[in-house]
Structure 1
Amino acid sequence: MEPLWAGLVLLVILFILLCSGLWVAFSLLGVGVAGLALFTQAPVGQAMATTIWGSSNSWALAALPMFIWMGEILFRTRLSEDMFRGLSPWLTRLPGRLLHVNILGCAIFAAVSGSSAATAATIGRMTIPELHKRGYHPLMSIGTLAGSGTLGLLIPPSIILIVYGVATDQSIARLFIAGVFPGLMLVVLFMGYVILWSLLHPEGVPGEKEKPSWRERLVALKFLAPVTLLIMAIIGSIYAGLASPTEAAALGVVFSLILSWLSGSLNRESFLAALMGAVRTSAMIAFILAGAAFLTVAMGFTGIPRELAAWIGGMHLSPYALIAALTVFFIVMGMFLDGISVVVLTTSVIIPMVEQAGLDLIWFGIYIVLVVEMAQITPPVGFNLFVLQGLTGRDILTIARAALPFFLLLCIGVVLIVLFPEIATWLPSRMGAH
């Protein structure tokens, strides 16, 4: 049990470092140094140097800054405005009407962004004033955006799936493809809830004065064409085995620059702003990954993951009981840390348990992203809540209350992929990428 006591000491050190306001990357490095210095005879400096270099020198990581840059470029275009114009004529007869623009708009932008916060901010900036002006229920407008914004983490290309793939040595192409059906499942759950809610609360959904003709609907499709082609180019090239995720990311950057130029949004200022935004975010994530890789090596030397996995194994938990315990654990972690930090902090300890339980690591990647999505809309550190607070000016508790039904829908999503793992595993099993 000695390694478990060591683990408890290191957990306290990590908690102290994070609460002191130290950057997550430095906190991870600090705990790794403490683990090696206090509980092993391993050379700290040599282990740190080789691990940080090894974790940084990864071809799979090249996709990360590319997808982030693509999202930053599109964040500064008129893409969200065009999506609103393209989607709204098709949704006027559906119960809930333009509330579905939040859900479908977020799903579409998620497929070219990879970031939850960027998805919520981009779509929200366009739809919230429009829905308010037309008289839609304010809490429902905010709730649909809070819930659907989380799709940025799941629908490929997903930044957090790249981080998970690098941390666990899994195929990023397979993880991307595995996220498609669970993402569509959440879209259906969200839209189904909005339809049900609007039938029960018709006063929250104003009637549209004008009914668009079929001709107007078909004309509106031209506004959706650019982003649809971009999604097909990225996801289609990966699924068909024509491009690796890194190559697809480079294609995405080229196409997004062309889209930005054609829309008149590309100039020197927007180009530099997108580039610097991508550099800042990529550097932060790469630094966290380097710290996490060093902590993983330190944990290996201390024997904590092996001992913990054996201890959990000795409890003879069923896979369902293990998943239930991990779900509570990840939600609590996600209340205080961002999603990427949760993934990199926990993989070194959790993955041995998951492998021992016989769970598929591709499936587990989708499961962990779904649970982290739930944490994005839970106080006190729900990043989507902060984004919407900035957009609407409402207090965080009001926004959390609006997001609660979508948190519960995400819980249903987790239950569904646990009961029917094929939702996540069927499509990757059909593709030829390795």
Structure 2
Amino acid sequence: MFDFSTEGVIIVLLLSLVMLGVHVAVSLAVTSAVGIYLTTGKLHVVQATVASTSAEALRDFTFAVIPLFMLMGEFMGRSGAVTDIYIAINRSLRTVPARLGIATVLGNTVFSFVTGVSIASAAAFARIGYPEMKAHGYNKGFALGTIAGSSVLGMLIPPSVLMIVWGILTEQSIGRLFLAGVLPGMLLATLFIIYILIAARVRPDLVGQQMQDAPVVLEEGAFDSTAHELKPAQFVVSVVGVLGIICSVLGGIWFGIFTPTEGAGAGAALALLLAFVKGMTGRGFIDAIYAVGKTSAPILILLLCAALYSRTLAMSGVTTEIRSFFVDSGFGAWTVFAIIILIWFILGMIIDSISIMLLTVPIVEPVAMAFGFDQLTFAIVGIIAIEAGLLTPPFGLLVYTVKAAIRDDSVGVQHIFWSAIPYWLIMLALAAAMMAFPFITNVLPNALM
């Protein structure tokens, strides 16, 4: 049982602060300071632990991976190369039912290889794909559910910010985590496409097939891929640029040519070159730096506080106590797995994915290892489960991101939540299949690293 003079206070205090709306970084820092003091009874130990943790974080180049990969994605997004590829995919699928929905999934798959943030994917394709789907008679909820659902690929296909955070928290190889996510990401994208094709066959009205002969009229100012002139040279530059950067960066990491941090730096430099070739201005460069700074700085502060929190758990024995509780409970491995997934799923309805990781991974990962789960598989399954929570009410972040990006008062968030249900059900089904068959995540890391 827990010693509620220390372990219990740490858990209750952290949960209370988070539920009261205190920022997760502040909650982690306060809880850590209180926990260290209760464990040691010495204020100077608290000060020394905070100072040493901060110094180590500043010296650790691993933390630079996040802003550098985000910068790579920002430059690629501003270059317009991914938009060119999306347009080409869309035009090549003219004879396929629900082509716009499928093009959105495939476009998100490509975009996921250059950005590690699913919110960026959701916002980008809400602006690119929704106006055209709406003009072609797609059910609005179905269209936006497709955009929100497929945007989760950004956190599963490398370079993923969640994979980087998980690797830092558990001291796993980020390169192996990147490789472990490729096959599940491809499988998830395939399952999404299969669902869209089935939905189009069962309910043609969802994808506007009853309007095939009707004229397509886009709203004023909306992006129109059919009117967008895509010159062959422009398309070649976009494809070669995107694929070249992806292969150079991820291939270099997987084959040991450079570290993830070095790869992120090389990717950012190559993406900057592509963006300038594609016409990005000096003002666009400054805006990209500013956008990444606003997004990455809070994440890095969170990681610093999470490192302090992990030390507190180790010093106070909370992790050991929780692991012992589950081991001695008599629960089976799959029961423990279901409990962990349920916790992540519920938290995903309330807070963002990185905060969920920082709060739970240092605790649940040792529990999973004690029950013999494969470490790589558990990491990828955890990312999938946490992302699934971002599609569920009442505070599904991806749904609200899509809603904010379209500015269409005729469709409410409840319609998007309802249409996103099949996508998170598919994600949970894939997570269970991966736990049953760990080779899905291990085959590429074992073969290439």
TM-score for the superposition, normalised by structure 1: 0.93
Residue number in structure 2 paired with 1:354: 368
Give distance in 2, aligned partners of 1:5 and 1:142. Answer: 49
Indicate yes or no: 2:30 matched with 1:13.
no
Residue number in structure 1 paired with 2:123: 121
SS of 1:98's partner is helix
Change beyond 3 A, Cα 1:219–1:260:
closer
Give distance in 1, aligned partners of 2:20 and 2:322. Answer: 27
Q: Deviations over 1:125-164 (max 9, x none)?
A: 1111111112222222111111110111110000111111
Deviation at 1:104?
0.5
Point out where structure 1 has 5 or more consecutive residues left out of the alignment: none
Deviation at 1:118?
0.4
Code of the aligned partner of 2:24: V
Indicate yes or no: 2:253 matched with 1:251.
no
Q: Deviations over 1:359-396 (max 9, x none)?
A: 22222211110111101211223221111110233432
Give distance in 1, aligned partners of 2:292 and 2:352. Answer: 18
Residue number in structure 1 paired with 2:220: none
Residue number in structure 2 paired with 1:88: 90
The answer (yes or no) to whether the contact 1:374–1:410 under 8 Å persists in 2 is yes
Give distance in 2, aligned partners of 1:275 and 1:47. Answer: 32
The answer (yes or no) to whether the contact 1:89–1:217 under 8 Å persists in 2 is no
Residue number in structure 2 paired with 1:188: 190
Residue number in structure 1 paired with 2:396: 382
Deviation at 1:221?
6.0
Indicate yes or no: 2:415 matched with 1:398.
yes
Indicate yes or no: 2:67 matched with 1:65.
yes
The answer (yes or no) to whether the contact 2:7–2:318 under 8 Å persists in 1 is yes
The answer (yes or no) to whether the contact 1:161–1:369 under 8 Å persists in 2 is yes
Higher deviation after alignment, 377-386 or 34-43: 34-43
The answer (yes or no) to whether the contact 2:341–2:385 under 8 Å persists in 1 is yes
Residue number in structure 2 paired with 1:135: 137
The answer (yes or no) to whether the contact 1:136–1:206 under 8 Å persists in 2 is yes
SS of 1:52's partner is helix
Residue number in structure 1 paired with 2:243: 228
Point out where structure 2 has 5 or more consecutive residues left out of the alignment: 216-225
Deviation at 1:315?
1.6
Deviation at 1:202?
1.9
Q: 1:40-79 maps to which residues of 2 (within 5 A)?
A: 40-41=40-41, 43-79=45-81
Indicate yes or no: 2:338 matched with 1:303.
no
Residue number in structure 1 paired with 2:32: 32
Question: Which of 175, 178, 181 in structure 2 is aligned with 1:179?
Answer: 181
RMSD of equivalent CA atoms: 2.2
SS of 1:113's partner is coil
The answer (yes or no) to whether the contact 1:85–1:220 under 8 Å persists in 2 is no
Deviation at 1:250?
1.4
Deviation at 1:244?
2.1
Deviation at 1:196?
0.6
The answer (yes or no) to whether the contact 2:403–2:413 under 8 Å persists in 1 is yes
Give distance in 2, aligned partners of 1:34 and 1:301. Answer: 12
Indicate yes or no: 2:434 matched with 1:417.
yes
Give distance in 2, aligned partners of 1:5 and 1:337. Answer: 28
Q: Deviations over 1:202-234 (max 9, x none)?
A: 233345679x9xxx9999963544322222222
SS of 2:97's partner is coil
Q: 1:260-409 maps to which residues of 2 (within 5 A)?
A: 260-264=275-279, 266-392=280-406, 393=408, 394-409=411-426
Code of the aligned partner of 2:84: D
Give distance in 2, aligned partners of 1:4 and 1:318. Answer: 26
